[in-house]
Amino acid sequence: MTWTRAGFWRRLDALVVDFIVLAAVIQIAAFVLYPLTDGRLQAQGLIRMVSCQSLAAPPAGVAVPQEFASGPLKDCRVGLLGLEYGHYLEVEAQSSDEPWTKLLDRSGNAATVLSLDLLMLPLLMLWRAFADGRSAQTLGRRVAGLKVVTGEASAPGFGTALLRQLILWWPMLLGLPFDVRSPLSGSFELTGASFTVNITDILVLTMLVWFVIAIVMIARRQDPLHDRWVGTRVVTPEK
């Protein structure tokens, strides 16, 4: 069988399948862990129902940013089929397109809460590195008819496959602490005598540029940088 470089849409199909499978696993884990940890471990999930109630004041211990101080407060609970697995405070402001949110535990307290959704990217990387390194295919790649191979047309091994994932996703890994679902989240700025730079905006721009470069190279039937730098190729059977 002759193999040729895979195009963008096949690669995207494989990624979507892998993402959906792992997201389902995380959501099931949230069903179990949310009541066991009193809401300290929770998730938002891909398929969900959100129920919100108005609040007169924020919960004790929650400091609402000044620009949202006058906005309406909502206590929102996330669930599916009668099972609750997420809880957060939402505050809207007319001066901002996006509401401010704060994760709460099951009782509505501002405890240290971790969203399992933050594990999505690290787990996706580890799973794909393990599967690609061992058999050259994840479940999604198998469905899409793809393989990740080295120059010798063999599976790259876990180390090479993991390095490939790290190079591919590094901008998003840097952005995880800034996610609103993270206890470390926040908007960080560098301020000088005549400038202010928002670190979150820089990360978003870097992410967009990085992935646009990869998409353009794939569309031109070239190996993207994360494949070139580790000596791998994503291939599909030639018709």
pLDDT tens, residue by residue, 88-144: 999 887 666 678 888 999 999 888 888 999 899 999 999 999 999 999 999 999 999
User: How far are the Cα atoms of 14, 30, 139, 225 from residue 125, in angstroms, in the given order?
Assistant: 13, 20, 13, 17
pLDDT tens, residue by residue, 148-158: 999 878 899 99
pLDDT > 90? residue 174: no
177 or 145, which is more confident: 145
Residue 181 is predicted with a pLDDT of 65
Instruction: Specify which residues 191 forms β-bridges with.
Output: 196
Task: Give me 13's structure tokens.
Answer: 């199909």
pTM for the full predicted model: 0.84
Alpha helices in 42-183 (DSSP H): 120-135, 139-144, 158-175
Q: Give the HSE-up count for residue 66: Cα atoms under 13 Å, Cβ half-sphere.
A: 0
* Whole-number Å distance between alpha carbons of 176 and 121: 9
Task: Give me 100's structure tokens.
Answer: 């401010």
Alpha helices in 64-198 (DSSP H): 120-135, 139-144, 158-175
Residue 198 is predicted with a pLDDT of 63
pLDDT tens, residue by residue, 19-78: 999 999 999 999 999 999 999 999 988 888 999 999 988 888 888 888 787 788 999 999
Cα dihedral 219, 222, 223, 224 sign: negative
pLDDT > 70? residue 192: no
* Whole-number Å distance between alpha carbons of 238 and 153: 14
Contacts 24+ apart (CB under 8 A), 6-13: 6/144, 6/146, 6/234, 6/235, 6/236, 7/218, 7/219, 7/221, 7/236, 8/215, 8/218, 8/219, 10/144, 10/145, 10/146, 10/236, 11/144, 11/146, 11/218, 11/234, 13/140, 13/143, 13/144
pLDDT > 80? residue 213: yes
Q: Which range scores top for mean pLDDT: 52-66, 78-92, 189-203?
A: 78-92
pLDDT band at 239 (very low <50, low <70, confident <90, very high): low
CA dihedral 147, 148, 152, 153 (to 10 degrees): 0
How many residues would you count in the chain? 239
Residue 2 is predicted with a pLDDT of 77
96 or 209, which is more confident: 209
What's the gap between Cα 132 and its chain centre? Answer: 20
pLDDT > 90? residue 85: yes
Residue 183 is predicted with a pLDDT of 61
* Whole-number Å distance between alpha carbons of 18 and 142: 10
